[in-house]
Amino acid sequence: MINNQIKSRGINDSKVLNAFEVVPRELFVSDEWKEYAYRDHPLAIGFNQTISQPYIVALMMTLLQLKETDRVLEIGTGSGYQTALLAEIVAEVYTVERIVDLMLEAKKTLKKLEYKNIYYKIGDGSLGWGNAVPRITEFDKIIVSAGSPNEPAALFSQLANDGLLIIPQGTQSNQDLMLYKKVNGEIEAHNYGGCVFVPLIGENGWDEK
């Protein structure tokens, strides 16, 4: 997976590649999908959600320029696979998931892998961390694993100066991968091309049908 799907497509961040080496992806999918765990496509994890394609996860993490000192907000815990990858690299991961059963299953897997630097919130990810415990008001990096219909204003307010936020943005069927940087309180935008994610459901996302 790492050589054929990630490195061959230009991902060369050693921290990201090392995280992919360490985290066993098969632990984050159901038994029926384990034989497909290392293929380069999304896999269903229930509740109309997916574990993302390995390459796109690696790309998003690389674009965030992750550092060992970073405090990262993750919107969309899902299976917990990306959460584990982040936890291998950065100081602290704060992860938000709206679907209770998904969060409980992810948390069980991550606890089994003995991660001590992950904090969990069940709630509306489009609003960010909010008043959850521990009380954190800003993050060095923010990664969103669901497609938003608009610029994530609530998340911009939780992004530290010189921080980076990556999010799929567009329609429910097709998005652009947008990287935002906060510079002196202003937001700079960069477009990294088309992608398709499940919709970001919430007050500042799509309505749940």
52 is catalytic: yes
The H or E element containing residue 147 is none
Give CA separation, 63 vs 59, 134, 164, 166, 172, in Å.
Answer: 6, 27, 9, 8, 23
Looking at 8, 14, 30, 52, which residue is catalytic? 52
Which residue is associated with the tokens 């204003």? 153
Which residue carries 């990810």 as its tokens?
125
DSSP symbol at 67: -
Question: Crossing angle for the helix pair 81-89 and 14-22, nearest 10 degrees?
Answer: 130
* Active-site residue list: 52
